[in-house]
Amino acid sequence: MPPTWITALLAHTAPGVGTVTGITAVRGPQVFHRLQGIDWLLSLSMVQVVSDMSRPVTAMGNNMLVTRAAYEATGGYEALPFSVTEDFALFQAVLAQGFGFRQVFNSEARADSLPIPTWAALMKQRRRWLRGVEALPLRLRLELLFFSGFWPALVALAVVGGPGPALGAWGLKVLTQGVLAHFAHRRAGLRLPLLLLPLFELYTLGLTIGLVGIRALGGAVVWKGRRYD
């Protein structure tokens, strides 16, 4: 956490606000680590856009302020049902008590986190996160499904319209994504590794295939050394 972290979050508290969430930057020396870093900041920038429209999406326990009034109104974790996405469960409980939320996207409220070391471990993390996604409102789940369906839609476009339109759509996606990632990194006080953007496409394709497989096959969630079916 930077020295400005506490004051940066407290600056966004106000009467009726129950949670304030900063951003998390995943940082590490290896290419796989840096791809995760792009993934995190790009995803959080999209969460910020939706949150700025007053639509709650999520909060992250590794960079999250919860006011005492909001926490006590929920009854605390003792009163909440068990969840493998406990930060999201608390966020939902605070919202249910009528409190508002804030998302802060700047370097003063940035937390740096270690990356996931292996692809298998990353898939286990995303399997657990899917439990949280399943608790989102139906409209948000449909929107997430729409965005995650880019690659199947691209294949369908190539079959129906040929390689030209498909390459054009892919190029537009890469350009738009790169611009968003650039501004997300700049707001976070970091520099986007531009040379990794082509490889990031393979990374996102691998994530899509992996998550579809996980969703289809199911299986237990592994969290902190425990298995939950």
Q: What is the pTM of this model?
A: 0.83
The domain spans of the chain are 5-220
Q: Tokens in use for 23?
A: 């951003």
CA distances to 61, 102, 218 from 36, in Å: 18, 24, 24
47: Cα separation from own chain's centroid: 7
Q: Regarding predicted confidence, which is higher, 47 or 133? A: 47
pLDDT at 148: 60
Residue 134 DSSP SS3: coil
CA distances to 29, 41, 61, 112, 152 from 107, in Å: 20, 12, 18, 10, 35
- Model confidence over 56-93: pLDDT tens digits? 888 888 999 999 999 999 999 999 988 888 888 999 99
Whole-number CA gyration radius for the chain: 19
In this predicted structure, the answer to whether residue 138 has a pLDDT above a threshold of 60 is: no
Distance CA 8, CA 106 (A): 9
- Model confidence over 149-170: pLDDT tens digits? 676 777 787 887 888 888 887 7
Q: Regarding predicted confidence, which is higher, 205 or 184? A: 184
Where residue 27 falls among pLDDT bands split at 50, 70, 90? very high
Kind plus residue range of the DSSP H or E element containing 29? none
Confirm if 52 and 187 have CB atoms less than 8 A apart.
no
Q: Average pLDDT in the 175-192 region?
A: 92
DSSP 85: S
